[in-house]
Structure 1
Amino acid sequence: MRVLDSEFVQGFIRMANDGWEQGWHERNGGNLTYRIKKEEVESVAEALNKEGEWEAIGTSVPKLEGEYFLVTGSGKFFRNIIIKPEDSMAIIELDDKGENYRICWGLVNGGRPTSELTSHLMNHEVKMISSGGKHRVIYHAHTTNVIALTFILPLEDKVFTRELWEMATECPVVFPDGIGIVPWMVPGGRDIAVATSELMKEYDVAVWAHHGMFCSGEDFDFTFGLMHTVEKSAEIIIKMLSMRPDKLQTITPQNFRDLGRDFKVTLPEKFLYEK
């Protein structure tokens, strides 16, 4: 099968374009990676080049040894993924130690995988372990309203989680574990990767202060839907604050407990504090 004809590649392209259309990927902003299933790798095996040079990841992710990933390219524009996919993304293979990668397909006009590859792979390893292998997608985007909130809310997990939960009833159901916050750090390096991976042991969403959002999920639909829900809730906060600085009414801690019971989700009590 041609790589571009495969369902997983088409799903990747659609998700990338959906993010572009939301306005989350100005210029070459954001990145997306997918841990490819074994049967999907086998379906495109004949199109993969196994002769490429090995390159250092910049960290060690031994649990991901031998895995294949579909990744966006560094410096590539999300708006071009749908029209120039072979130039904009790549399939990479990790070596048997999880320390190096090589490009097996894509980036036909040259280039490298996303500059956030270290963060993505460290978090893929964490989420693969914590989800029992179910999580396969890591997505980073520059979500406008969430970024705006990082300038006016305390950079604390419990504050962001509670405020976002209160804005829309579905939020505690969509992200019941809450949201982690990474203070501003230089992007692209190992430090932000380590800080994010510590949070992702507990959460599926990490907000990078003054930068954007980082989400993990089982597939493209769940991961995009998670980010979309968080960003929409942030938009509601921004609109509410533009009308008045305080709330006349809101969802209470007991309301959240009732919601959790009926929807069969566990909501951590640390987020249900009395204000």
Structure 2
Amino acid sequence: MRPATTRADAVEQLIEVGRLAVERGLVLASGGNLSARLPGEGDFVITGTGTWLDRLTPADFSVMSPDGEVVGGAERPSTEWKLHQRTYRVRPDVHAVVHLHPQHAVLVDALGHPIRLLSLDHAVYVRSIGTVPYFPNGSDELAEAAAEQAREHDCIVLSHHGCSALGEDVRMAFRRAMNLEEAAVATYRMLLLGDTTTAFPKGVRLHHE
């Protein structure tokens, strides 16, 4: 999946990510929402309200301005549009936001344990994890709290809700979401074994493969 060069490319990539996210159990039914914008553009595309991520078509996307106005596409954007808008506002380097409901990430966080990065991929792609306490979905409080965490982290766990994964393109945002959940699964298994300390070694120089 190469970086999108047109808005239509970005939409097609989000459609593919939606299908894969459901296929891999990272979200169910009409949960989750996806967005993307092109480098240099303020407007972004986002899945419409009530859409099922494994059944997306180009008609299911709204085009929104940086101020949160619908300027094209589907009339009703996701109720979580503020989560995406606020993140883009504080992170000009981010061009895709993937909001999913990964079960293990939500569970480990709800149990009061930090998600530990175990593998090289976790350390390279997730790097660090922000957390946000529970706020109602679609609220200004949730959007603002997530955006504040996005200043320092590319993966954010929204307590009792889901996650927000950011990337310079759609591919990277989804890669981070997958690695976040894999790290959460590893953490859950380590907790079952009674381990509360094992993690990727600190101070190791990391390189993208």
**Shared fold (TM-score, shorter chain, > 0.5):** yes
The number of equivalent residue pairs is 203
Tell me by how many angstroms 1:18 deviates: 1.3
Are 2:10 and 2:37, in contact at CA under 8 Å, matched by a contact in 1? Answer: no
Alpha-carbon distance in structure 1 between the residues aligned to 2:7 and 2:82: 28
Q: What is aligned with 2:53? A: 78
Residue number in structure 1 paired with 2:183 = 233
Q: State the alpha-carbon separation in 1 of the partners of residues 207 and 177 from structure 2.
A: 22
Equivalent-residue separation in structure 1 for 2:35 and 2:7 (angstroms)? 18
Q: Which runs of 5+ in 1 are unaligned?
A: 39-65, 129-133, 155-159, 266-275
C-alpha contact 2:135 2:142 (8 A) present in aligned 1? yes
1:215 CA displacement = 1.3
Q: TM-score, normalised by structure 2?
A: 0.87
Is 1:135 aligned to residue 107 of structure 2? Answer: no
Task: Find the partner of 1:246 among 180, 192, 195.
Answer: 195
Higher helix share: 1
- Which residue number corresponds to residue 99 of structure 1? 67
Does residue 21 (structure 1) correspond to residue 23 (structure 2)? The answer is: yes
Contact 1:30 1:142 in 2 (8 A): yes
Q: Does 1:122 align with 2:86?
A: yes
Rounded Cα–Cα distance in structure 1 between residues aligned with 2:39 and 2:72: 15
1:169 to 120, 129, 135: 120
Equivalent-residue separation in structure 2 for 1:256 and 1:115 (angstroms): 39
Query: Where do 4+ consecutive residues of structure 1 move more than 4 Å?
Result: none
Separation in structure 2 between the aligned mates of residue 174 and residue 5 of structure 1, nearest angstrom:
25
The offset of 1:34, in angstroms, is 0.7
- Higher RCO (Cα < 8 Å, 6 or more apart): 2
Flag structure 2 segments of 5+ consecutive residues without an equivalent: 1-5
Task: Tell me the CA shift for residue 85 of structure 1.
Answer: 3.4
Separation in structure 2 between the aligned mates of residue 69 and residue 17 of structure 1, nearest angstrom = 20
TM-score using structure 1 length: 0.67
Give the CA deviation at 1:204: 1.0
For 2:3, the equivalent position in structure 1 comes to none
Matched, 1:256 2:205: no
**Contact kept in structure 1, 2:10 and 2:170, CA below 8 Å:** no
| Aligned amino acid, residue 114 of structure 1 | S
Name 2:130's counterpart in structure 1: 180
Q: CA deviation at 1:12?
A: 1.7
What RMSD over aligned residues (CA atoms) do the two structures have, in Å?
2.4
SS of residue matched to 2:69: strand
